[in-house]
Amino acid sequence: MNIHKLKPVVLLTLLLAATTVGNSTARAAKRQSVASKAKISRLIKQSPDLKPTGKILRQNHRTYLKREDMISKNYNLENFADSGVFNHKHQARIYVASPVLKSYVRTAVKRWNTALGRQVFKVTTKRSRGTLRVSLKTSDAQWDGLFDGNRIYVNRADFNTPNTARYLEDSQYQAYIQHMTDLQNEAAKKVQKLAADHAVRHETLEDSRASKNGDEQGAIQAEVDAEMTQYFQSEHQIQDSYRAKLKAYRQSKHTWLVKLKARYQRMYWNSVVEHELGHGLGLDHTPYLADVMFAASNDEGEYKSLNVKYPWVKDIAVATRDKLSARDIDRAKLARKLNYW
């Protein structure tokens, strides 16, 4: 008798029974009740911008069906994925055609799956089984990632010539720069003090020479020269010591800096793939930097006429953070309710 096998089966049965009873009661009560436009409008107004609250996420099936336009517009959702990308289990199978992108895709997939509490994306190694394909694409257009119905492209040119500026705002990097500035300032202060002391000594010697006769003046001149030599030597020492400290510090931080830059590169391409997967789930952009779905907005020209809450140009700027925000996650949950995935 395998007790370990039996237990889950029993539990599952009980659970199923409970859900069946719960559902049939709820279904009977909710069948006819499509929430009114006024009610949905009120719930939208009560929720933060682009952030669906619990109530918006707990409407019944028919309400989502009837009020789809209103809801999708207000939360900037759109059914971007081609039919067939998501199967009946609401899962998309991703085939990564460019091996260099595999680790980024795996990370992005893991983050979405964890955030949504289900395996919405699954990486497959078989091309024929993939419903969503990820690959590099050569383009001189201004995008880093692109979602195209059933394909995600990463800009090959940008991927191969990484933008090294992304780590510049890191606080540890700023502390590193600050430390080097401090070393420089410290040396500059020492030089300043040295020059001031030298000026005083020099003036004293000159004054005393003026009051003396010929022979004594010669002796003082020797002192003036010696003082001058000493001053220049001390200044060189300070400069040499500063350069040595700077070099040692830079060397001690070299490996750290290389890793920091690499981490920011990884973070960036993770965020690009996460962002494009977000489009796959039906998420359009947001104007909030904290979101993976952030993009720079453009409310001019052709974009102005779009029937969306925020109009955007293509993905010129995607977020540099690779952590999904609560807004990203809740919008994706709402997109599921609207059957976009």
CB of 315 to Zn ion, least distance (A): 4
CA atoms of 79 and 86, how far apart (whole Å) = 12
CB of 294 to Zn ion, least distance (A): 9
Among the listed ranges 24-32, 36-44, 126-134, 310-318, the one in contact with Zn ion (CB under 5 A) is 310-318
- Residue 291 binding Zn ion, by CB under 5 A: no
Among the listed ranges 54-62, 126-134, 202-210, 313-321, the one in contact with Zn ion (CB under 5 A) is 313-321
Structure tokens at 215: 């022979």
231, 245, 253, 228: which is closest to 185 by C-alpha?
245
What residues between 29 and 58 interact with Zn ion by CB under 5 A? none
- Residue 274 binding Zn ion, by CB under 5 A: no
Among the listed ranges 19-27, 84-92, 103-111, 308-316, the one in contact with Zn ion (CB under 5 A) is 308-316
Neighbours of 165 (CB within 10 A): 8
Q: Rounded to the nearest 5°, which phi and psi values hold at 93?
A: -100, 125
DSSP β-ladder status, 92-96 and 151-155: unpaired
CB of 284 to Zn ion, least distance (A): 8
Q: Rank residues 189 and 314 by Cβ distance to Zn ion and give the closer one.
A: 314
CB of 190 to Zn ion, least distance (A): 53
CA atoms of 257 and 236, how far apart (whole Å) = 30
Neighbours of 77 (CB within 10 A): 25
Q: Rounded to the nearest 5°, which phi and psi values hold at 155?
A: -65, 115
- Residue 315 binding Zn ion, by CB under 5 A: yes
The residue nearest Zn ion at its CB is 315
CA atoms of 102 and 270, how far apart (whole Å) = 10
Q: Rank residues 291 and 315 by Cβ distance to Zn ion and give the closer one.
A: 315
CB of 295 to Zn ion, least distance (A): 5
Residues lying near Zn ion in the complex (CB under 5 A) are found at 315
